Structure 1
Amino acid sequence: MATRLEATYGDNGEREHAVEHSDALARALVAAVRGERGAEPPADTKLMELLRDIARASRLIQHLEEWRELAIVRADQLDADASRVNLGVAAGMSPSKLYKLLEKHGRPKSRTPLTRSEIVESAITTEGGEWDAARVIETLERYGFETDDKGARSLLRGLNRDKVLERKPGAGGRAIYRVPGAGRDWLYVLDPELNTVEGGPSTPARVSRLAREADGPGHWWLGRKLKDMRAGDRLWIYFAAPERKISAMAEVSSEPYPAPAGSEKPYLVNATLHARATEALRKNPVRLEQLANQHPQGCVGLADADLALALKNAGL
């Protein structure tokens, strides 16, 4: 069955059409134009049909690659005084690949030599000279940086100083950064034999029961003031006995503050148990043997691998 593809150009309504003999390939083309992913050949497609579509798709890709190459060269000619940063970002190319393409068409390799960090810095700076936090991580990854990359240390420290990035807690000796505002996740250890919750025992059963009550616990003890803890963070509550497991989660609503004299521990933080997540974790806890952190103590940043498992078991 043939599929007719039509295109309308500009305000004058000029129209053209092409007949694509494969519905599957036509759908893939429409999805690509829309920026969508996931279009796949139907499972019942025959071999000869697949080979034909592969050949047609290959020709289409070749034509588009040729058009993109000429468009890159034309853009470089139109913006001869630019540093090519925007051109590289638009094309999704590393500087070396872009320079190679331009040299092929007789364009000079580099009019304004830039280091990789300078290219990234230019790409994440707005026209007004301010950092654009929304583009930071995406741009770093596009240019091959990890957020703890040695080659980007100076840039990352500058972004941290300007509060565009922040250091991630619990990363050991490495300086790993992320965009501010993302809630932190903490592994909060409760020992039912030593700690209390709201003046009563801190057993998994009691904490689970409190999570179902509207006036559940609001204050949680801290042995030290965690300066990186703030409202919007989460406490993944690990019970050190009788079974070693994460089986509750609370949402932080304040920064840590000094506890009254004579209190159980020197600091407090306000947090409310998340009823749905706690119920899910009660039924499907994350046990010690599943954790990357095999020696939980106090309150520390939750490792990424442990967070992924906790989120899954909590149904979040």
Structure 2
Amino acid sequence: MADWIYILNPLRDVLDQEPCDKEKILGLAEEDPEAEFWLSRRNRMVPGDRVWFFFTSPDAAVAAVGEVDEEPRLDSEAGDGSYLVPVTLLTEATKALYRAPVGRDELGLGQVRSVQKVKPAALPLLLERAGL
């Protein structure tokens, strides 16, 4: 199993035509936790991997987590070579992270890409804050 950081910029990223901010993802986790997220490239995600959602603003922090349901697949509707990955948001862990997010400094993130692996030193803190 691998752990991934997925970067969301609420000023740019949308889900169901709404800004993809912490409140939107928390609401999904509580009401409809199965979602698909866009990837610019396939990555090597497999079922069971965790996806930690890092919100770039207003406070740069991880405030949600989900589990990969299926390997990423080509987004045939987009026609641009992008992928979709089905993820189930973990409701209780997302609630815990929403209340006590893990900040950028705590994660030791340098340059931020759309998706990257969690640094091994940051994983224990993420798991603790999420109650996992």
1:313 and 2:129 are equivalent in the alignment: yes
Instruction: Indicate if the aligned counterparts of 1:238 and 1:246 stay in contact, CA closer than 8 A.
Output: yes
Counterpart Cα distance in 1 of 2:3 and 2:65: 10
User: Aligned in 2, Cα 1:263/1:198: closer, same or farther, shift over 3 Å?
Assistant: farther
Q: Give 1:191-206 correspondences, 5 Å limit.
A: 191-206=9-24
Q: Select the structure with the greater relative contact order (CA < 8 A; seq sep ≥ 6).
A: 2
Structure 1 segments of 4 or more deviating over 4 A? none
RMSD: 1.7
- Listed one character per residue, the Cα deviations across residues 80-134 of structure 1 (whole Å, up to 9, x for unaligned) are xxxxxxxxxxxxxxxxxxxxxxxxxxxxxxxxxxxxxxxxxxxxxxxxxxxxxxx
Counterpart Cα distance in 2 of 1:254 and 1:198: 21
Residue of structure 1 in register with 2:61 after alignment? 245
Counterpart Cα distance in 1 of 2:111 and 2:81: 21
TM-score by length of 1: 0.40
Partner secondary structure for residue 218 of structure 1:
strand
1:209 and 2:34 are equivalent in the alignment: no
1:300 and 2:122 are equivalent in the alignment: no
Counterpart Cα distance in 1 of 2:80 and 2:51: 19
Which entry has the higher C-alpha Rg, 1 or 2?
A: 1
- Listed one character per residue, the Cα deviations across residues 235-283 of structure 1 (whole Å, up to 9, x for unaligned) are 0000011110000001100001111333787110000100010000001
Residue of structure 2 in register with 1:267 after alignment? 83
Instruction: Indicate if the aligned counterparts of 1:221 and 1:265 stay in contact, CA closer than 8 A.
Output: no
Residue of structure 2 aligned with 1:233, choices 28, 49, 52 = 49
Instruction: Indicate if the aligned counterparts of 1:220 and 1:269 stay in contact, CA closer than 8 A.
Output: yes
Counterpart Cα distance in 1 of 2:80 and 2:66: 20
Counterpart Cα distance in 1 of 2:16 and 2:80: 11
Residue of structure 1 aligned with 2:40, choices 194, 198, 223 = 223
Partner secondary structure for residue 122 of structure 2:
helix
Partner secondary structure for residue 295 of structure 1:
coil
User: Aligned in 2, Cα 1:264/1:311: closer, same or farther, shift over 3 Å?
Assistant: farther
TM-score by length of 2: 0.92
Residue of structure 2 in register with 1:186 after alignment? 4
Residue of structure 2 in register with 1:277 after alignment? 93
Of Structure 1 and Structure 2, the greater strand share is in: 2
Instruction: Indicate if the aligned counterparts of 1:221 and 1:264 stay in contact, CA closer than 8 A.
Output: no
Counterpart Cα distance in 2 of 1:217 and 1:263: 23
Of Structure 1 and Structure 2, the greater helix share is in: 1
Identity %: 33
Gaps of 5+ in 1: 1-182
- Listed one character per residue, the Cα deviations across residues 127-167 of structure 1 (whole Å, up to 9, x for unaligned) are xxxxxxxxxxxxxxxxxxxxxxxxxxxxxxxxxxxxxxxxx
Instruction: Indicate if the aligned counterparts of 1:191 and 1:239 stay in contact, CA closer than 8 A.
Output: yes
Partner secondary structure for residue 193 of structure 1:
coil
Partner secondary structure for residue 212 of structure 1:
helix
What is the Cα deviation at residue 291 of structure 1?
1.4
Gaps of 5+ in 2: none
- Listed one character per residue, the Cα deviations across residues 6-35 of structure 1 (whole Å, up to 9, x for unaligned) are xxxxxxxxxxxxxxxxxxxxxxxxxxxxxx
Aligned residues: 132
Instruction: Indicate if the aligned counterparts of 2:10 and 2:57 stay in contact, CA closer than 8 A.
Output: yes
User: Aligned in 2, Cα 1:243/1:217: closer, same or farther, shift over 3 Å?
Assistant: farther
